[in-house]
Structure 1
Amino acid sequence: MNNLLNDFPVVIEQAVAWGEMDALNHVNNSVYFKYFENARIAYFGKIKVMQQMQTLALAPVLASTQCRFKMPLTYPDSISIGARISELNNDRFMMEYRVVSHKNQRTAAEGTALVVAYNTKAQRKDNLPSSVVEVIRSVERINLVDNTSL
């Protein structure tokens, strides 16, 4: 199972809760976005993004997200959720997620999220602080993509 998450610098584990299942006896599709959120916040904690951005009145805002379901999760089970940043731009980054079932030793879902830097005072998109870019680059070993034409 570890090899399914080797490329993810942040991996969290949690139990599948009975209350996450729906009438079809599997985890409801909306719950996977909570799983992604938990991994995203753990990633943000690792790179201290909230502390760095708040001093500049910036916030990492979820612009879009998607999920591809590979197999149903059911209670009881435990899962590992991996998070990584696959693309880094001046004002945004793309996160990727993978949810792995411990019981089945398989990927249950994969997803992405586009996160943009939002200036809370000016109420508009802004550039990521260079300190955030540098720590992401060191964690992920990726270069900044020029998105000035976007």
Structure 2
Amino acid sequence: MKISLPELKKQVHQMPMDVRWGDMDAMGHVNNAVYFRYMESVRIAWMTAVGAVPQPQGEGPVIANAFCSFLRQIEYPARLLLTLYVSDPGRTTFETWTTIEREDQPGVVFAEGGATVIWVDFPRQKAATLPQWMRDIVAG
């Protein structure tokens, strides 16, 4: 099943990543759980770049859910291009979307997925209002 990225998504980050030998499973392709690590890597790189780093005694982002559609198998060796999009800033959340391509096959999406990010007050263990600076970044 192919998901559709929302029309109002905003591309915010892109990064290359090498498939490691250990990313493969017994069937000789990248293990399905590893795709979530790839999506996490691009999401964390972007969040770090914009200053959205969790502060254990304060507030920060947490993933509320994550999903992935596996469209084509990826095998080692490969160099990937991960593209991150954001959309739909709400009171406490926003959406992230990721596409995974091989650099040697531009425009061919091998997997796509996303995650809902919720802003959390860590000491209280409760959702917090998405800061205006983050809302501005996501809304663009």
For normalisation by structure 1, the TM-score amounts to 0.80
Task: Tell me how far 1:131 sits from its aligned partner.
Answer: 1.9
For structure 2, the 5+ residue unaligned runs are 1-9
Q: Distance in 2 between matches of 1:55 and 1:118?
A: 10
* Structure 1, 126-135 or 106-115: larger mean CA deviation: 126-135
Residues 27-76 of structure 1: per-residue CA shift (max 9 Å, x gap): 000000000000101110222112xx639811201100000011000011
Q: Give the counterpart letter for 1:32 in structure 2.
A: Y
Matched, 1:32 2:35: yes
The equivalent of 2:81 in structure 1 is: 80
The equivalent of 2:11 in structure 1 is: 8
The equivalent of 2:132 in structure 1 is: 130
Task: Tell me how far 1:8 sits from its aligned partner.
Answer: 2.5
For normalisation by structure 2, the TM-score amounts to 0.86
CA 1:55 to 1:128, structure 2 compared with 1: closer, same or farther past 3 Å? farther
CA 1:56 to 1:84, structure 2 compared with 1: closer, same or farther past 3 Å? farther
The equivalent of 2:101 in structure 1 is: 100
More helix by share: 1
For structure 1, the 5+ residue unaligned runs are 1-6, 142-150
Q: Is the 8 A contact 1:26 1:75 kept in 2?
A: yes
Identity %: 28
Q: Give the counterpart letter for 1:135 in structure 2.
A: I
The equivalent of 1:144 in structure 2 is: none
Q: Is the 8 A contact 2:60 2:120 kept in 1?
A: yes
What is the number of residues matched between the two proteins? 130
CA 1:131 to 1:9, structure 2 compared with 1: closer, same or farther past 3 Å? closer
CA RMSD of aligned residues (A): 1.7
* Structure 1, 124-133 or 98-107: larger mean CA deviation: 98-107
Please list, as runs of the form range in 1=range in 2, the aligned pairs for 1:38-57 lying within 5 A after superposition: 38-50=41-53, 54=55, 57=58
